[in-house]
Amino acid sequence: MALQFEHTDRFLKETRLYEPDDSTVSRANITAYMRSKGFSTWDELYRWSVANPEEFWSEMARELEWMKPWKTVRRWEPPYVQWFVGAQCNIVHNALDRHMRTPVRNKVAFYWEGEDGARRTLSYADLYQEVNRAASALSKLGITKGDRVIIYLPRIPEQIISMLAVARLGAVHSVVYSAFSAPALRDRINDAQAKAVIACDGYYYQGKLVERKSVVDEALRDNDTVEHVIVVRRTGTDIPWQAGRDVDWAELVASGADRHPVEPVDSEHPLFILYTSGTTGKPKGVVHTHGGYMVGVYTTARFVFDVQPDDIFWCTADPGWVTGHSYIVYGPLINGVTSVFYEGAPTYPDPGRFWSIVQRYGVTIFYTAPTAIRGLMRHGDQWPAQYDLSSLRLLGSVGEPINPEAWVWYREKIGRGQVPIMDTWWQTETGSILITPTPITPLKPGSATRPFLGIEADVVDRSGQPVDANRGGYLVIKQPWPSMMRTIFNDPKRYEVYWNTIPGMYFAGDAAHKDEDGYFWIQGRVDDVISVSGYRLGSMEIESALVGHPAVAEAAVIGKPHPVKGESIKAFVILRKGYDAGEALVSELKQFIRQNIGPIAVPDDIQVVDSLPKTRSGKIMRRLLKAQELGLPIGDVSTLEE
């Protein structure tokens, strides 16, 4: 990717600081680990971990079970890496099998709730049995080690069961978000050269029944690799059926054995392929492996979310995205945690649905996206106020950087002004969280704070040299970590770009700056940096300022060519309930930006809209707004929500 600027300019200043309370610090997993290592501060522990990454990560890995030990912790031949070389394992053994010898077997693994009110409870023992039966049944269909299986299911228990069953066999799962169209599904099936597809008749979302089987049939037209389509009956509606190819999930699983041996695989054996959209061209098939990914998600779930035996964890994402893979399925299960799993929309049948679920199950850890937070803010404070949220002890944010005002609302209205927020930065490609607070970190609204243990992050210029504090540049990771992707499926050259754009470093594609305390502030994708009269403005700063106005729920800004200034700024804003669009409000917003950032950041044009184009993982697609505004090709939009 081309690097268009030397540095970015910082204008927004955030001075609020929230210290952790003593009780949170004293009970935190990270505190116990820090003391066990003989350190008295986070800084000491962090410095040791980045100076000795192989020792740190092998220490974490030894807390899990391996069928065969590794000979070498890390083999780094840039840009390719191997972790726990020579070891054998299977992530499902650590997520399920090892718990069968402990009291965790009787714990609830998932409380599932459908949008229509349906509910199921699965203990670890229940889940273990279901996964064994499904693995046995899939094996009878001919699914073996290394085969690729597409999972095209909504947020129902069978989605998780099928992921674990495929992985148990040593096959490779590729979860495709259930709202994707036939062309998007076809692209992923064909690229993965899938042997089977696990799908459903339909599901419920925003009060509507969404039919899916015909989408699968269309996607498979002219396909010559898929041998079976396994269909889960979620809604019971009539669906087209192809004899000899289509198989009923319930009948298939009923034929499976109660026990099916877990397949030992090499630590570097592929676990899953997850497709993520690029700016142009076909989606990228990001490949993650059993061993390193397992260690990364186990460690981050333990220390970032501070999971304890009595916790009820709710990550609101979908396993169709990496957040769901890492912090709904694998991370919590390896840690033996009870989770909530919800099928539907956050605002159905009303904007209190999330908070009613928190109250019903006594959720203690809640992890969601900034777009969900801002969307719920838009409906007013009265909705969370109706529910008892006192069980919450930790909040989390994932996806886009969260703007300070939404961060404060989240803490005040959902966390009762006292619950810490883990604002996490990571990507599909990274596999697990890389920049984040822990419960002992002093928090600054809008900052993901510091790198996680063993992660050496920095902000650099185009030549890879660190930039000064409070000056923006390119966000990089300087050393490999266990959960990082290993390649792009069928396209290794595309993978190498991540490591050769700024030679010798992983370039994340984000602009960022570090403040005087070493806290990281993400300024937006480098493609979204706007150059105005010689200044380079991160989109997130302008958007954060706009959302700081009481009328604005969400905002997105783009740059447009300008004959004098280089680029002009256009803003798209969604208003909160009770505010009306008009020239007076537009003028007020421009003045608000002038006061909070300065005249250089005042948009030339502000357009009030009802919605913004987003991916289903919650990221605003600014490049699509820009392409539409300028009449340019829009590229790959397969991950678009609407």
Beta-carbon count within 10 A of 15 CB: 6
Tell me the pLDDT of the chain averaged across its residues. Answer: 92
* SS3 call for 195: coil
Q: Which of 623, 630, 631 is nearest to 277 (CA)?
A: 623
Residue ranges making up the domain that contains 550: 529-630
Q: Is 23 domain-assigned?
A: no
CATH code for the domain of 139: 3.40.50.980
At 530, the pLDDT band (50, 70, 90 cuts) reads confident
Q: What is the pLDDT of residues 442-473, one digit of tens each?
A: 999 999 999 999 999 999 999 999 999 989 89
Per-residue pLDDT at 42:
96
Q: Is 173 domain-assigned?
A: yes
CATH code for the domain of 576: 3.30.300.30
At 433, the pLDDT band (50, 70, 90 cuts) reads very high
Say which residues have a Cβ less than 8 Å from residue 35's Cβ, sequence separation at least 6: none
Q: Is 584 domain-assigned?
A: yes
Residue 83: C-alpha distances to residues 87, 286, 288, 480 (Å): 9, 17, 12, 10
Instruction: Give the H or E element holding residue 513.
Output: strand 506-514
| Number of domains making up the chain | 2
Compute the CA torsion angle 406, 409, 414, 415 (nearest 10 deg): 100
Per-residue pLDDT at 280:
47
Sole residue written with tokens 């962090």: 46
Out of 246, 263, 280, a domain closes at: 263
Out of 263, 283, 316, a domain closes at: 263
Dist CA 17 CA 20 (whole Å): 10
Q: Which of 503, 448, 508, 437 is nearest to 476 (CA)?
A: 508
Dist CA 150 CA 195 (whole Å): 8
At 582, the pLDDT band (50, 70, 90 cuts) reads confident
Dist CA 120 CA 583 (whole Å): 51
Out of 239, 263, 287, a domain closes at: 263
Model confidence at 492: pLDDT above 60:
yes
Q: 492 near 485, Cβ under 8 Å?
A: no
Q: 334 near 95, Cβ under 8 Å?
A: yes
Q: Is 245 domain-assigned?
A: yes
DSSP 601: G
Q: Is 472 domain-assigned?
A: no
Q: What is the pLDDT of residues 162-191, one digit of tens each?
A: 999 999 999 999 999 898 889 889 999 999
The pTM score is 0.88
Instruction: Give the H or E element holding residue 171.
Output: none
At residue 359's C-alpha, the angle toward residues 353 and 360, to 5°, is 85
Q: What is the pLDDT of residues 283-335, one digit of tens each?
A: 799 999 999 999 999 999 999 999 999 999 999 999 988 999 999 999 999 99
The mean-pLDDT minimum among 24-38, 48-62, 603-617 falls in 603-617
Q: For the chain, count helices (H), then strands (E).
A: 21, 30
Q: 559 near 525, Cβ under 8 Å?
A: no
Q: Which of 38, 24, 318 is nearest to 154 (CA)?
A: 318
Q: 124 near 106, Cβ under 8 Å?
A: yes
Q: Is 388 domain-assigned?
A: no
**Average pLDDT of the residues in 405-422:** 96
Q: Is 285 domain-assigned?
A: no
Task: Report the share of the chain in percent with pLDDT over 70.
Answer: 94
Q: Is 313 domain-assigned?
A: no
